Amino acid sequence: MDSYEQEALNDGAGLVAGIDEAGRGPLAGPVVAAAVIFSSPWPVDYGINDSKTLTHKRRERLSCLIYKSAISVGVGLVWQDEIDRTNIHRASLVAMRNAVDSLGIIPDRLLVDGRFEIESKIKQSAIIKGDTLSVSIAAASIIAKTVRDRIMDAYSQLYPEYGFAGHKGYGSAAHMTAIEKYGPSPVHRMSYSPLSSLSL
């Protein structure tokens, strides 16, 4: 899980930041990205892995370990209104750039999950399925997912009729039933189907 970090180190990079996002698919809420810089040797023995493979309890525990052991952690968000104005692809890249910009220290190399690089002057590598291949990207995926889940839990308090705490904004049957009954909330992504077809 640290071969990409080792490769960057061998190439002269001192500080390597892994970057990932969470929340491309949901019908509501922001897309959240995180950037994580570890010192070498990287904490591969923590059991850090792609956030989608971990339980909620495990993610919460690992997020505490990541914050404790990382040199710096940055978080970037793009809210649903901007997602609707642009598109989720662009919003995700902006969120990842914002996460890098919020780091307390400038890294020498970026490892970005996915096919696309972000807007940055820092040397970077886009890594398909990077959250399963890089410990830094996997750590970023855990932070991004944890932060986003907490936001959706807060939205569940504001809009309890939608049950955001249970489905985190994804299009579950219960969520779709709530939309049909109550209409969209202020935090729904109106550019997403089937919300985009609603007559408001």
Q: Which domains does the chain have, with CATH numbers?
A: 3-148 (3.30.420.10)
Count CB atoms within 10 A of the CB of residue 10: 8
pTM of the shown model: 0.94
Q: Which residues of 104-137 are buried (b: 16+ CB within 10 A; e: fewer)?
A: eeebbbbbbbbeebbebeeebbebeebbbbbbbb
What is the model's pLDDT at position 94? Answer: 98
Pseudo-torsion of CA 187, 49, 93, 147, nearest 10°? 30
Extract the tokens encoding 101.
């910009």
Q: Which residue has the tokens 């220290």?
A: 105
- Report the amino acid identity of residue 170: Y
pLDDT tens digit sequence for 19-76: 999 999 999 999 999 999 998 766 766 778 778 888 889 999 999 999 999 999 999 9
Q: Kindly report, residue by residue over 158-195, the tens digit of the pLDDT.
A: 999 999 999 999 999 999 999 999 999 999 999 998 89
pLDDT, position 45: 63
